[in-house]
Structure 1
């Protein structure tokens, strides 16, 4: 293969397949903590620790989406992406994905005030979330949108999670699972909007590889978050 052939852009079909392979093989559904969760092997303390730390990620989703929206020079694109902010923040107080995650915390017996304070968020989780927000702040629109394509794998994970919670964690009120139920539909819609943008924008091989790297980075963010949750808090030293 010549150098020119090696740098030739992949076809649209091959590029999409490569994106889907990254989302499938590197998504955090394969993380040992998620596997234990879905097998019903988490203790109440472990599950509450995950809910607490994942909330730190959830509350920053509309922040990163606002940063992405600001990169678009098209009103149509801004209107489309603004809906993602509304999905999480809601139109009114008491609505949206952040509120539904707080209700999951309520159902698991967590103090909502503590969740909102962020006092129990682990340092590694803060670092991972900050890294993702700053990535969306500093990188190109292509890379920021490509990083969101973890949504290609999210709906299936949400469905498995609902089934796992209903089967293995009956002490959590079923009403607390509303976030997961909503994200099955939203995740499919979001990836269905973002994927065509990435396929359209990444015309050259270098741009395609940037998009793949951005998606792999996002997978690493989610994996690192779970690494921190899995290891738990450091012991206090005297």
Structure 2
């Protein structure tokens, strides 16, 4: 497999067919998905204390609560009603409906179970600056780049189920302050993520018809892996190495 830079596939990457595109996309996931980040190794291996897990859940809430905003922007990019209908359920998956619980409410269950105040979590006042910058950049990406790239950037969902399984088993095994009731977000995503990923993969394979368009698809996925990775970089720097920036969440003393 040809090399990549921090932002793009190699110019000589084989992208002459839909099958070669999928091969490159799966290679990107295998080498760049944030499941490989040291912070996740600590989180899933029971090596963090409760305050560090709180910091992760607090910051991740900003990402989770921004996903339906991102998806609404993606939806607005398409005149094709069928695509809008297909994409719309993603917003409901996270926002829920008037009579159904969504992913954001499930994430709040996690933060409440960890002892965080919900008003504080929802305010996003305690998150790391890098979290905000990275997540906002994702929303701006799907707004400013082509509709093809906007859909391609969601393809990290191809690799999410394995991470969710690892997270559920690891956190339940290692942390006595975690119970199954607060892990429902991840349990639900085991069903939702494959459905979403399959649609997005089929879309990019069908609509990226030149090597140049396939490279754009790959680079959109690389961008998204960077969005996820840099959030964990910031968490590691702040809460493992102890460099919490001014005004960000500070866990209670042990």
Shorter-chain TM-score bucket reads over 0.9
Which residue is equivalent to 1:164?
170
TM superposition outliers: structure 1 runs of 4+ over 2 Å: 6-9
SS in 2 for 1:59: helix
Report deviation, 1:130: 0.9
Question: Is residue 158–residue 193 contact of structure 2 (8 Å, CA) maintained in 1?
Answer: yes
SS in 2 for 1:42: coil
Which residue is equivalent to 2:71?
65
SS in 2 for 1:210: helix
Question: Is residue 29–residue 157 contact of structure 1 (8 Å, CA) maintained in 2?
Answer: yes
SS in 1 for 2:183: helix
Question: Is residue 46–residue 170 contact of structure 2 (8 Å, CA) maintained in 1?
Answer: yes
Report deviation, 1:10: 1.6
Q: Indicate the larger mover: 105-114 or 88-97.
A: 88-97
Question: Is residue 150–residue 219 contact of structure 1 (8 Å, CA) maintained in 2?
Answer: yes
Asked if 1:198 corresponds to 2:209, the answer is no
Which residue is equivalent to 1:234?
245
Which residue is equivalent to 2:98?
92
SS in 2 for 1:125: helix
CA distance in 2, matches of 1:193, 1:16: 13
Asked if 1:41 corresponds to 2:47, the answer is yes
Question: Is residue 8–residue 204 contact of structure 1 (8 Å, CA) maintained in 2?
Answer: no
Which residue is equivalent to 1:15?
21
Q: Is the alpha carbon distance of 1:9 and 1:230 closer, same or farther for their aligned partners in structure 2, counting shifts above 3 Å?
A: closer
Question: Is residue 66–residue 85 contact of structure 1 (8 Å, CA) maintained in 2?
Answer: yes
Which residue is equivalent to 1:105?
111
Report deviation, 1:173: 2.9
Q: Is the alpha carbon distance of 1:94 and 1:46 closer, same or farther for their aligned partners in structure 2, counting shifts above 3 Å?
A: farther
Report deviation, 1:170: 2.3
CA distance in 2, matches of 1:133, 1:175: 30
Which residue is equivalent to 2:252?
none
What is the CA deviation profile of residues 20-53 of structure 1, one whole-angstrom value per residue up to 9, with x for unaligned ones?
A: 1112210000001001111110111110000000
What is the CA deviation profile of residues 137-190 of structure 1, one whole-angstrom value per residue up to 9, with x for unaligned ones?
A: 111111011110000100110010000111011212320000000011111111
Question: Is residue 34–residue 225 contact of structure 2 (8 Å, CA) maintained in 1?
Answer: yes
**Count of aligned residue pairs for this structure pair:** 231
What is the CA deviation profile of residues 179-211 of structure 1, one whole-angstrom value per residue up to 9, with x for unaligned ones?
A: 000011111111011100000111001100000
Residue ranges of structure 2 left out of the alignment (5+ in a row): 1-11, 239-243, 248-254
Question: Is residue 172–residue 179 contact of structure 2 (8 Å, CA) maintained in 1?
Answer: no
Question: Is residue 40–residue 164 contact of structure 1 (8 Å, CA) maintained in 2?
Answer: yes
User: Larger % of helix: which?
Assistant: 1
CA distance in 1, matches of 2:218, 2:13: 15
Report deviation, 1:7: 9.1
